[in-house]
Amino acid sequence: MCEIEYTFSGGCTPEEILKEQLEKHCPNDSYTMSLVGDDQEIAIEAINQGIDSHLQAVTFNNEPSFRQDSFEGNGKTYYGPSRLDLDTTNEGIVVLCRRLLEYWENCDCSEEEREDECKHETAYQLRSCILWTLGIEEI
């Protein structure tokens, strides 16, 4: 089992810390993930921005791909949710995390909407999960 030493960050984690953790945990310049549902939708939206005002884009080692798992049972074929498989470069994941944070910061939903159906909240949660896999917990 992989032991992760956590770094705690008050508020927004600086990109330098994210880059350090990526070098430590992803030395092959490859961060892979598989997304479903709302996470998939928000990631696609963030990725499709192309080159942004920072003159950066989410970059990949391999083209993003969709797949759908299936299994047989009771003489029928059952299908799981569509999955988006991503293999980003380390710099690509830094850009994606920044965009997810910006998306959340620019939210104009009410507090009640944020708790229910706000996709901006999904962006923040996805970013938090990515950071957590790298040993970063924002508090």
> What are the tens digits of pLDDT across the range 33-44?
999 999 999 999
The model's confidence at residue 12, banded by pLDDT at 50, 70 and 90, is: confident
Torsion of CA 60, 81, 134, 128, to 10 degrees: 110
Identify the sign of the CA torsion 79, 82, 88, 90.
negative
For residues 100 and 120, is the Cβ–Cβ distance under 8 A?
Answer: no
Distances (CA, A) of 12 to 18, 128, 136: 11, 10, 11
Rg (CA), the chain: 16
The model's confidence at residue 69, banded by pLDDT at 50, 70 and 90, is: confident
Separation of alpha carbons 35 and 27, rounded Å: 22
How much is the pLDDT for 114? 60
Q: Is the pLDDT of residue 20 over 50?
A: yes
